[in-house]
Amino acid sequence: MKKSLLAAILIFTAFVGNAVALEYKAMKDWVRLPDVNSKATNQHGDVAVSAKGEVYVSTMDPAAGVQVFSADGKHLRNVPGAPNDFHGFVIRRDQDGEFIYGPRLTAQTVVKMTLEGKVVLEIPASAIPDQFKNVNPPTRKNAKGEVSPNPDGGKTFVRLTAMDVAPNGDLYVTDGYASDYVHQFDRRGKYIKSFGGKQDPYGFKTLHKIAVDTRFTPARIIGVDRANGRVVHLSLDGAFLGVIATDMLLPAAVAVQGDYAAIGELKGQVTLLDKAGKVAARFGTNTNPDEAGKNAPDPARWVVGIVTAPHGVAFSAKGDVFVSEYSLFGRVHRFNRQ
């Protein structure tokens, strides 16, 4: 049997003791982003599912920063004016309907926009106090190792990587590529506080993405602390509640639905954790060191159901899991819950 055909019919099963917990089936050729615009689609973003079941995927394409697909993988449209630097984003409902919420990685802003592309809120980095930002060094090195003055020396910066929305409408944004602080704003964009960081008791090393964990009362924050290989819980007030899981393969993305949290691991794996932090399912595992965690594997080498570098995860209403890759070519997986 050909390897690709075998992968296409794989059903991934996790066991707790002797009992089957969850089963997922990889869907063959659900969607491939280059098919949309006939060119490689550099992807370093996320994926989200609307209430209608439409799948939104962020890319680095200047003309199609957020692309929308039907549940069966048909390209429907691009979100007009959507930025191409949404590193992490979510779709959440408030009293006025559904909105896209996401931090812009290079523009250093937080954006709320309608599903049709109208920006209704934008929070600049200047809203965050400088004491919670990184500072550019006074000098810099070029590729030859030569040192020169840094024109941005002394200036503060953020590299915001993900966010989510609490039940009361507060916004939580993580500065995962810089300070590792989480910044809290109210629903109107007014700054409230910052917490986390690299110091104790947090000790974060790339708090890459976060989600509001509604499996608990009160809700809390679940975060993937990538370089530490762990998943953590924080209270909505910023208290460090503890470590949920360790020894993960560079956890880079997280989504919550029902009793489970899906974790996309950059080194080539997807894991579902239950409320106790136990593994309920694990699938897509890539054991090839030349592929796992890399964004350049040629599409000709792709195998259905085997991930390369998960960078975004999302659930459908039925519990199916979508996985967007860190990829020069653009790739999104669908694993259907059986």
Mean pLDDT calculated for residue range 26-37: 77
Question: Above 70 in pLDDT, residue 279?
Answer: yes
Using DSSP's 3-state secondary structure scheme, residue 258 falls into coil
CA angle at residue 207 from 162 to 190, to 5 degrees? 50
Mean pLDDT calculated for residue range 291-315: 95
CA angle at residue 206 from 204 to 212, to 5 degrees? 80
Residue 258: Cβ within 10 Å count? 11
Check: CB of residue 321 under 8 Å from CB of residue 337.
yes
Question: Above 80 in pLDDT, residue 282?
Answer: yes
Question: Above 80 in pLDDT, residue 21?
Answer: no
Q: What is the pLDDT of residue 30?
A: 86
Average pLDDT in the chain: 92
How do residues 143-191 score in pLDDT, each as one tens digit?
Answer: 888 999 999 899 999 999 999 999 999 999 999 999 999 999 999 999 9
The pair of structure tokens assigned to 297 is 């594997």
Q: What is the pLDDT of residue 11?
A: 59
How do residues 211-263 score in pLDDT, each as one tens digit?
Answer: 999 999 999 999 999 999 999 999 999 999 999 999 999 999 999 999 999 99
The pair of structure tokens assigned to 295 is 């964004």
pLDDT band at 70 (very low <50, low <70, confident <90, very high): very high
Alpha helices in the chain (DSSP H): 3-8, 34-37
Check: CB of residue 56 under 8 Å from CB of residue 50.
yes
CA 230 to chain centre: 15
Of 27, 66, 25, nearest to 330 by C-alpha is 66
Q: What is the pLDDT of residue 10?
A: 55
Radius of gyration of the chain, Cα coordinates, nearest whole angstrom: 19
Q: What is the pLDDT of residue 323?
A: 97
Q: What is the pLDDT of residue 35?
A: 60
Which domains occur in the chain, in start order?
Answer: 12-337 (2.120.10.30)
Task: List, in order, residues 6 or more apart from 253 with CB less than 8 Å away.
Answer: 46, 88, 208, 209, 224, 262, 263, 264, 310, 311, 312, 313
The pair of structure tokens assigned to 306 is 């085997």
Per the rule left: phi > 0, alpha: psi between -120 and 50, beta: everything else, 154 is: left
In which element (H, E) is residue 232 found?
strand 230-235
Q: What is the pLDDT of residue 8?
A: 41
Q: What is the pLDDT of residue 19?
A: 40
**In this prediction, what percent of the chain has a pLDDT beyond 70?**
92
Q: What is the pLDDT of residue 20?
A: 45
Q: Which residue has the tokens 């085997």?
A: 306
